[in-house]
Structure 1
């Protein structure tokens, strides 16, 4: 069993849900998060209050699942990202689980 964590901008939420379903990851959790980058953007430098930076509305999904499902999910994410022209691809990480109850 491993923990997979996937992050994406909010616009890709439906896509991530579809990818999880296709990878047969049926049990997972999701949370709204703010994503930040340290690079200055046009919006930050042209705002009325340039010292105030807002985050991008993003989503974080996570699931405790088997490795074969994660491999399929990562393949699907790579395929999805290759077809996008965005600076905010879907990202995923895997963490091993040493113990669980």
Structure 2
């Protein structure tokens, strides 16, 4: 299978990705409408979100550049101090930008 890089080919790819994304999102909601949410299932759903985030962050912490490590460190420290995620994320982005600009 070849992928056309013309304007029409790119638009077809974007349309295909849109359809797949919508199908998975709506499909998940549709399937979960048949499941009774017990405390055990609710705990699984809450824990799953954290495990996905950790699966993304840990490889970056061990294999990332100085900017990634600075962003993770500053974000972790800021969220522990302020107990608010949005300022911590902003501080992490700023730290990564500064480190990458300087080095």
Instruction: Provide the TM-score with structure 2 as the length reference.
Output: 0.28
Highest CA radius of gyration, 1 or 2? Answer: 2
Which of the pair has the greater relative contact order for Cα pairs under 8 Å at 6+ separation?
1
Give the structure with the higher percent helix. Answer: 2
